[in-house]
Amino acid sequence: RAKENGRNGFNFYEPAMSAGAAERLRMEHELRGALARDEMLLHYQPQVALSDCSLRGVEALCRWQHPRLGLVAPDQFIPVAEDSGLIGELTAWVLEQACRQLILWDRAGFRIPRLAVNLPMREIERTDLVNRVRRTLERTGLTPDRLELEVTESMIMRRLDLAVTTLDALRALGVILALDDFGTGHSSLAHLKRLPLNRLKMDRSFVERLGKDRDDEAIARAVIALGRSLGLGVIAEGIETRTQHDFLRDEFCDEGQGYLYGRPLAAAAFLESWSVMEGGMHLSADRTAEAP
Ligand code: C2E
Ligand code: MG
Ligand code: MG
Ligand code: MG
């Protein structure tokens, strides 16, 4: 126990535990029963084609409806789940729940081509991941070509050979693989070449200042060009303004995700806001003003 926590940078024998560490320990304890208590939920955020704003996919994003803290963001509890060994159970739940939701929407006549789910750091190192994904697809009836798994560079680079083996097996299963937050990690291009990826997700830190910062514009162009020359689709995250959208569309970035098209919403609200937009949403210049 002490060893396990030592890995997280906590030390049980430290006399003055910081408030942050105490809170984290409390959260770990509470997280243990959260799934059983039905406190986890998923929000869905649209991914659109930049050419016509048609709906191409959704990313499932986990939330924790905490009795004391309210709605807790994943940045707060995913690291805790990873360090405490709860992440496997949580990931299984997210995957199953999201696949089921897509099938429910299919049955309601609201067909979303693709579902993206985030794979946490630790899962890629588990040998049973591929079988678990396969069984979830079989159970829910979602075909593999509609499931996209998002991994991050830091996750892969930590144990490259193992990651390549796992990702190869996932590709063989027929699922789509995306590299999330691309550009923020430290993968070399040589490593990138070894990975069986289908898509790059350009990190929102490069998107933020498009139209204002020449360097970020150059980086965005380079990421799009890299994706194209490696045969990968490119999606930009964190698009909040019409300026960013126009820049990326004009540079032939394939898809976009961000508040401009929609914030992450619970399933019912997502259906309500998107089912009416046949053939893609209409982007007025005004929508930019709505984004914070
Ligand atoms: P991510 O996978 O890069 O997800 C995108 C994050 O950017 C989401 O934050 C989303 O709400 C936010 N975002 C989207 N559009 C915009 C925008 O226009 N502007 C800004 N400022 N932000 C935008 P969220 O939902 O808080 O998730 C944060 C991170 O937590 C995710 O980053 C992902 O790494 C992780 N995460 C979320 N759900 C899960 C999950 O079910 N499992 C695992 N392992 N990780 C998850
Ligand atoms: Mg993601
Ligand atoms: Mg991301
Ligand atoms: Mg991110």
pLDDT in tens, 155-207: 788 888 889 999 999 999 999 999 999 988 776 787 888 899 999 999 999 99
What is the pLDDT, as a whole number, of residue 280?
66
What is the reported pTM?
A: 0.91
Ligand 1 contact, 83 CB (< 6 A):
no
What is the pLDDT, as a whole number, of residue 291?
45
Nearest CA to ligand 1 atom 7: 238
Give 14 Cα–ligand 4 centroid separation in angstroms: 33
Give 48 Cα–ligand 4 centroid separation in angstroms: 17
* Beta bridge pairs of residue 237: 257
What is the pLDDT, as a whole number, of residue 292?
45
Exposure string for 1-32, b = 16+ CB within 10 A, e = fewer: eeeebeebebeeeeeeeeeebeebbebbebbe
Mean pLDDT in runs of 10 for the chain (292 residues)?
42 57 88 94 98 96 94 94 93 98 96 96 86 98 98 84 92 97 80 91 96 95 95 97 98 98 97 78 57 45
- Name the packing angle between helices 87-107 and 267-274 (round to 10°): 40
Closest CA to 38 of 3, 66, 14: 66
What is the pLDDT, as a whole number, of residue 186?
72
What is the pLDDT, as a whole number, of residue 238?
98
What is the pLDDT, as a whole number, of residue 156?
82
What is the pLDDT, as a whole number, of residue 17?
58
Place of tokens 């933020």: 208
Residue 12's φ and ψ, nearest 5 degrees, are: -60, -25
Give 203 Cα–ligand 4 centroid separation in angstroms: 6
Ligand 1 contact, 61 CB (< 6 A):
yes
Q: Residues 144, 150, 155, 159: is their CA dihedral positive or negative?
A: positive
Pull the structure tokens for residue 12: 């049980």
What is the pLDDT, as a whole number, of residue 20?
81
Give 180 Cα–ligand 3 centroid separation in angstroms: 5
Q: Ligand 1 pocket check: which of 39, 44, 61, 133 to mutate, most ligand atoms within 8 Å of Cβ?
A: 61
Written in H, E and C, the secondary structure of 88-103 is HHHHHHHHHHHHHHHH
